[in-house]
Amino acid sequence: MYIAPILPSYNRNYTIVDQNKVNHFVHCRENSIPYLTDILAHSNNEAQVTETLYIVDKMIDNGVKDIDKMYPVLSRFNNTNSPNIQTFLAGIYRKLQIPDAFGPLVKMLIQNSNNPNPAPFFDPNEEIGGAILSYISDRFRK
């Protein structure tokens, strides 16, 4: 049975995802990339996009190759106001260190500073700022 993703709420600061679905995509490794890319290219559903970004993040953690080639579709969300999408996107960019993603991360941080999200359940700027720091840290240079 498929469980639809549930976004954070006032009493829960994390997204609930279908762990079986996540495990399936991670297990399929690089074969999952076209399907996930298609979802990200066409979906405007915040919960679905957040869940898909979570899956991509877990795939990176599990050593799936070629995730960096998804940047053109990931960049579609560089201008989002969604703290959920921003948080996962920043985490993905932090791990992949795609040079083209640095500017959008800085833009997100400035955008959020100028227009703070009213009463978010968590602060996406923590992940965004951490991603920016990882780009400029010697520890992450190759």
The pLDDT of residue 103 is 97
pLDDT-flagged residues of the chain (< 70): 1, 119-120, 139-142
In the prediction, which pLDDT does 123 show? 87
| Residue 58: per-residue pLDDT | 98
pLDDT of residue 45: 97
pLDDT confidence of residue 40? 98
pLDDT given for residue 116 in this prediction: 85
Residue spans of the domains in the chain: they are: 19-140
If you search the block for the tokens 């877990």, which residue do you land on?
58
First-residue to last-residue Cα distance in the chain: 43
Residue with tokens 């070629």: 66
How buried is residue 73: exposed, middle or buried, by Cβ count under 10 Å (0-12/13-18/19+)? middle
pLDDT at 64: 98
